[in-house]
Structure 1
Amino acid sequence: MTTLLICLCGGLGAVTRFVLNTSIQRWWNRAFPLSTFIINVIATFCAGIAAGAIAYHTVEQGTYLLFVTGFLGGFSTFSTAINEMVSLIRARRFAVGLLYICATIVVPVVCVALGWWVVSVAR
């Protein structure tokens, strides 16, 4: 039953990603892949909150699995980010590509740390 619920949550995450991605792309027409970046920032911040919550025993393991493995697994899109990095470099958009690479590595780490911090303060 847990596996089925994780699959359902993953599907919900993927649909949420699609809706958010489409919405952002409608008004963002620049080389920087903002929609993927925003999605991954949200996902890593939420993952940090979830990791802090499980570490401080404020949520159950099953809830954590449904949210992180299921929903956030379907919502976040690291493989798309990597593909966009390679595409920017191949298109010789070196400055945007380098900015995107750095931002995609640094900002999510900060977001996870902020998520942990939010949970620790809320305790």
Structure 2
Amino acid sequence: MNWLLVIAGGMVGAPLRYLTDRAVQSRHATVFPWGTFTVNVIGCLILGTLAGAAAAGAASSHLQLLLGTGLCGALTTYSTFSYETLRLAEGGARFYAAVNVIASVVAGLGAAFVGVSVAEALWV
């Protein structure tokens, strides 16, 4: 049963990642990978909210598998982030590569913190 929840979440997260990435990137005429940045930050926000809800006892283990492992696992992408950062650096856009690393870490951690804080405000 647990693996079905992970699969169901992944079936939503993977196409959502692709469609969001394409929609966001098509609106920016820059080499910066805004699409990947966006899905990763959104995933951090969702996972932070889920972690806060779980800590408050408001999220079951099934919901954690569905949304945390399945949805967020398929929605977010460390491998694409790494590849795009490397591609930027190798292509001479070292400034954008550095901004991608720093902004992704800061925004991701910030989104996770906001998610936990929102969950605590709602369920504690």
Equivalences, count:
123
| Aligned counterpart, 2:86 | 86
| Aligned counterpart, 1:119 | 119
Residue 40 of structure 1 and its aligned partner are, at CA, apart by 0.5
Following the alignment from structure 1 to structure 2, what is the Cα–Cα distance between the partners of residues 8 and 118? 25
Following the alignment from structure 1 to structure 2, what is the Cα–Cα distance between the partners of residues 88 and 114? 29
Whichever residue aligns with residue 60 of structure 1, its letter is S
Residue 120 of structure 1 and its aligned partner are, at CA, apart by 1.2
Which residues of 2 match residues 1-123 of structure 1 at below 5 A?
1-123=1-123
SS in 1 for 2:26: helix
Describe the shift of the 1:5–1:122 C-alpha distance in structure 2 as closer, same or farther (beyond 3 A).
closer
Q: Given the two structures, how large is their TM-score scaled by the length of structure 1?
A: 0.95
Residue 108 of structure 1 and its aligned partner are, at CA, apart by 0.4
Identical-pair percentage: 28
SS in 2 for 1:27: coil
SS in 2 for 1:30: coil
Structure 2: segments with no counterpart, 5+ residues: none
Following the alignment from structure 1 to structure 2, what is the Cα–Cα distance between the partners of residues 48 and 114? 7
Give the superposed CA RMSD.
1.0
Q: Given the two structures, how large is their TM-score scaled by the length of structure 2?
A: 0.94
Following the alignment from structure 2 to structure 1, what is the Cα–Cα distance between the partners of residues 71 and 13? 4
